[in-house]
Chains A and B, each alone.
Chain A
Amino acid sequence: DTEVTQTPKHLVMGMTNKKSLKCEQHMGHRAMYWYKQKAKKPPELMFVYSYEKLSINESVPSRFSPECPNSSLLNLHLHALQPEDSALYLCASSQEGGIDTQYFGPGTRLTVL
């Protein structure tokens, strides 16, 4: 089973709202990732967690705050977002870091009004 689940599927929020995206995997993977994908563009890496510790932050604005409460869960907390943050947010996981294949979830489509 190579399933990564993400909730919610769609999210609409105002610029003053606080919301969270959730990602879950039960494959025993120890690395998890957040990507942002704008329309008609490839995914861009935002964060990498390895063994529940943040290992890569690709200069993402502080209005995005990741959290890895345990090895199966990855959250992305959103606060004071801008309309240009509207995108598809993808979660992925891999066995560990390094060269392991990344498996992606279906994504959360975020619209910021």
Chain B
Amino acid sequence: GNSVTQMEGPVTLSEEAFLTINCTYTATGYPSLFWYVQYPGEGLQLLLKATKADDKGSNKGFEATYRKETTSFHLEKGSVQVSDSAVYFCALNPQTGANNLFFGTGTRLTVIP
């Protein structure tokens, strides 16, 4: 089946620290992979995506590389800011016809000054 596993949160970092949020997946086909971010009280915003193996998605200093051999799509940022405090969801689209998104449970990040 299709599923996404994210690291348990919450994660608390000091400003300018390095961020890694782990995401691994199980998929029946060749999925597209996504990171969405949800700021407090808001909907989901697409942060970045990758559609095939070895693709790197990047946006706003965040990066994630689609690793087929380890079935992973870890999110990284070199220097976090207080404004990055949010919940981050890893998701996959199995690309089997129906446009279903399978979400991980989300990781809450808090960045302190």
Contacts and interface: CB of A to CB of B under 8 A. Distances in A.
Interface stretch (B18-26, B62-70, B76-84, B92-100): B92-100
Contact of A106 (B42, B95, B101, B105): B42
Contact of B99 (A98, A105, A106): A98
B98 A42 contact: no
B29 to A, nearest CB: 10
Interface string A71-113: 0000000000000000010101010011111111111010000
B113 interface: no
Contacts of B49: 101
Contacts of A97: 97-99
Contacts of B101: 43, 45, 102
A55 B98 contact: yes
Interface in A1-22: 2, 6
Interface residues of A, number: 28
Interface of A: 2, 6, 31, 33, 40-43, 45, 48, 55-56, 88, 90, 92, 94, 97-107, 109
Interface of B: 32, 34, 36, 41-46, 49, 51, 89, 93, 95, 97-101, 103-106
Given A94-B99, A103-B46, 17 more contacts: A33-B99, A42-B105, A43-B44, A43-B101, A45-B100, A45-B101, A55-B98, A88-B43, A92-B44, A97-B98, A98-B97, A99-B32, A101-B32, A101-B46, A104-B43, A104-B44, A106-B42
